[in-house]
Structure 1
Amino acid sequence: MLIVAALGGNALLRRGEPMTAENQRGNVKRAASVLAALIDQGHSLVITHGNGPQVGLLALQSAVSPDGAFPLDVLGAESAGMIGYMIEQELANLASQRLYATLLTQVKLDPRDPAFDRPTKPIGPIYDEATARRLADERGWAIAPDGDKWRRVVPSPRPLEILEVSVISYLVAHDVVVICTGGGGIPVIARDDGSMVGVEAVIDKDLASSLLARQLGADMLLMLTDVDAVYIGYGTPDARALRRVGPTELSGLDFPAGSMGPKISAAIEFVEAIGNPSAIGRLEDAVEIVKGRQGTWFEP
C-alpha cells in the first residue's frame, strides 16, 4: 500500500544531542534501516521529515554572516536538501534496486493566516532561560519554553496546498520512493498576479504530511517519533497508552501544541477526509505499527 511516512525531528536528532554531521548521519542511517524494512514488505513510500533543529542551526550560521541573513524559506529549502540527500543515500545503500528522488516542495499558505502574528514553532538549539532571553533581546527573536529549556519560535501557518503534488504522484506511479515536503515544505504565498514568493515561516511537518497524504489519496499516514504511542496523562503515574481510537474520541482532551497535538490533528484530518487509517508511534516499531501491533491507530 502507499504510505506517507513522516519522520519526526526527534527521530532524526535526539533531544539534547549535539547537532553534528556525524550525529545527523547516524540517526538518518538508523531511520533508513526502518524505512527499508517497510519497502521490503512491499509498501510504496513517500517520506517526509522534520527540520526544526537543522533550520534553526542554519539560521544561526546565516545570522553571523557579514553579508546578512538568509530568509527562513531559503533556509528551509537548504535544510530539506541536506536531510533529503542523507535519507536518499542511506536508503540506496540498503536497497539499491529501488529508485529514489528527493524533491524540494513548495507549500502554499494563506497570507492572512493569524499564525503569522503568533510565533509558536520551535526551531534551533535549546537554551537555558537566561541565554534564550539574552539572544531574544540581541536578535529580535520570539522565544518560548520547550520542556525545561527554551527555544526560538517562529510563525507556523496552516498548509493549504502542496504545489508539487502532481510531480510526486507521477514519481510514485513509476515506483519511485520520494523524499519530499522536508520540514513541512518551503512556505510560499501567492502574489496578486498569481506568482509565488517565499515567506518567513516554518510549516508544521505533520500537518503538511497529512495534507500531502490526502492529496495523494494514500492508504496510510504513518507518523514516526520517539514515543511508542499516544498517551492519556503522559508523564503521570496514571499514563495510559491508546491503541485504537476514532476521530472524535479525543475531542476535549488537551495535547501539547509543540509535540503530540499537531500529530493528533494531522491523523484525525487524514482519517476524516480519506477514510483510511493513520498511526503514530516509535520509529523502531514502524513495521509492527503498519501491521496494527504497535503504536496508536486512528480509524474511521
Structure 2
Amino acid sequence: MKKLAVVAIGGNAVNRPGEKPTAENMFSAVEEAMGYLVDMLDEYDIVITHGNGPQVGNILIQQEMAKDIIPPFPIDVNDAQTQGSLGYMIVQSLRNQLSKRNLRREVAALITQIIVDKNDEAFKKPSKPVGPFYSEEEAKKLMAEKGWIMKEDAGRGWRRVVPSPKPLDIVEKEVIKLLLKNDVIVVAAGGGGIPVINEDGRLKGVEAVIDKDRASALLAIEIDADELIILTGVEKVALNYGKPNQVYLDRLTVEEANRYLKEGHFPSGSMGPKIEAAIDFVTTTGKTCLITDMKKLKEALSGRTGTRIVP
C-alpha cells in the first residue's frame, strides 16, 4: 500500500533564482519540478502545496501601477488568483510529465481557504512584508489614506507589512480527502491558503498571509498523511548556516529542533518556519518530516541525504 505525503515545494520550483518571472520561465521551472515529484508516485500518493510570495508581490506591483484605472484587489483575492494561476501551471506540467512516462493519473488544483483567528496576536503585530517598495513620503501618505502599516526595509525603501496568523482549519479538507480516495493527485493550500475568519458561521477573507509551510503541516495532520516533505534550496538543514563552523544535520529530534530554534540557528526569514512546521507535524502525529532540496528528493527518500525530524 502506498504512503500518503504532503509535499511542499518552495519558490525555486516556480521562479529559478536570477530568472525573470515570465510565464514561460515559470512553466519551465514548474515542469522540471514536477519531474522530480513523478519519481515518487510508485511509492507515494501526494498532495502538493506551494508558495506564492513573489507572485502575489508581482500582482501588487501591477495593481499599484494601474491603480488609477482599475481599483486594487485585497490580498485574499490576490491569494486566490495565484492559487489559480500556479495551480494551473502545476497541474498542466504534472500531466505532461505523467504523459511522457505513459502514466495515467487524474490531477486537480483546489482553491483552498484556511481559517484563522481574528484575535490572533499576529493581527496586532503585522510583520510580513508584501508588495512594492515606496519612498518614506509615499509610505506615510498610504498609512494615512488606507490605514496600512508600513516599515522601512533594510535601506531599500518602505513596504507594507501584513499579519501572518496561525492556520487553524482547512475549509475544503473533506473535498481533499474525497479526491484522494478517488486516486486524484491534489494541489491544495497554495501560498498558505486564502486566510479567512468565521464570523457567526459566515466566512470572510482577511488581509493577511499564512506561512505555506505551517499550512502544509496543518494539511498533513488533517488528512492523516504518513509524511510531510518540505522541499527547499538546500540538501540538508544546517547549524551555523553559511559560517565556517557550519554543520549539516541528518536527523533531528523534536527536542533538538526546539532547542536549536531557540538558539537562533533557524532564522524566521528562511529555515525557521520550516522547522516550526516540522515540529508541529511530528509532535501531533508521531510521524516524520523530511527537509531537502528538490533535486535530491530521490536520494533523500531512500535515506541517502536530507534531514529528518523525528519524535
**TM-score if structure 1 supplies the norm length?**
0.91
Match of 2:146 in 1: none
Which residue identity lines up with residue 8 of structure 2 in the other structure?
Answer: A
Question: Would you say 1:262 and 2:244 are equivalent positions?
Answer: no
Match of 2:295 in 1: 284
Instruction: Decide whether the 8 Å contact of 2:139 with 2:159 is kept in 1.
Output: no
Deviation per CA, 1:151-190: give whole Å up to 9, x if none: 6542110000011111101111111000010000000001
CA distance, structure 2, for counterparts of residue 204 and residue 36 of structure 1: 25
Q: CA 1:278–1:195 in 2, change beyond 3 Å: closer, same or farther?
A: same
CA distance, structure 2, for counterparts of residue 117 and residue 166 of structure 1: 32
Deviation per CA, 1:221-275: give whole Å up to 9, x if none: 0000111111100010111111111101122321211111010000011011111
Q: Aligned-pair distance for 1:136? A: 3.7
Which residue identity lines up with residue 27 of structure 2 in the other structure?
Answer: R
User: Superposed, which structure 2 residues align to 1:49-60 within 5 Å?
Assistant: 49-60=50-61
Deviation per CA, 1:100-127: give whole Å up to 9, x if none: 00000000000011112322224447x6
Match of 1:274 in 2: 285
CA distance, structure 1, for counterparts of residue 228 and residue 158 of structure 2: 30
Instruction: Decide whether the 8 Å contact of 2:106 with 2:185 is kept in 1.
Output: yes
Match of 1:218 in 2: 225
Q: CA 1:98–1:124 in 2, change beyond 3 Å: closer, same or farther?
A: farther
CA distance, structure 1, for counterparts of residue 35 and residue 157 of structure 2: 31
Percent sequence identity over aligned pairs: 46
User: Superposed, which structure 2 residues align to 1:7-22 within 5 Å?
Assistant: 7-22=9-24
Match of 1:172 in 2: 180
User: Superposed, which structure 2 residues align to 1:67-216 within 5 Å?
Assistant: 67-96=70-99, 97-124=104-131, 136-137=139-140, 139-140=142-143, 142-143=150-151, 145=153, 152-191=160-199, 193-216=200-223
Farther off after superposition, 111-120 or 43-52: 111-120
Q: CA 1:108–1:42 in 2, change beyond 3 Å: closer, same or farther?
A: same
Farther off after superposition, 134-143 or 43-52: 134-143
Which residue identity lines up with residue 7 of structure 2 in the other structure?
Answer: A
Q: Secondary structure at the match of 2:40?
A: helix
Which residue identity lines up with residue 161 of structure 1 in the other structure?
Answer: D
CA distance, structure 2, for counterparts of residue 38 and residue 132 of structure 1: 47
CA distance, structure 2, for counterparts of residue 234 and residue 282 of structure 1: 15
Q: CA 1:144–1:292 in 2, change beyond 3 Å: closer, same or farther?
A: farther
**TM-score if structure 2 supplies the norm length?**
0.88
Q: CA 1:27–1:143 in 2, change beyond 3 Å: closer, same or farther?
A: farther
How big is the alpha-carbon RMSD for the aligned residues of Structure 1 and Structure 2? 2.1
Q: Which runs of 5+ in 2 are unaligned?
A: 144-148
CA distance, structure 2, for counterparts of residue 145 and residue 16 of structure 1: 21
Which residue identity lines up with residue 67 of structure 1 in the other structure?
Answer: I
Match of 1:45 in 2: 46
Q: Which runs of 5+ in 1 are unaligned?
A: none
The structure with the larger Rg is 2
Q: Secondary structure at the match of 2:39?
A: helix
Instruction: Decide whether the 8 Å contact of 2:136 with 2:157 is kept in 1.
Output: no
Question: Would you say 1:253 and 2:254 are equivalent positions?
Answer: no
CA distance, structure 2, for counterparts of residue 147 and residue 49 of structure 1: 29
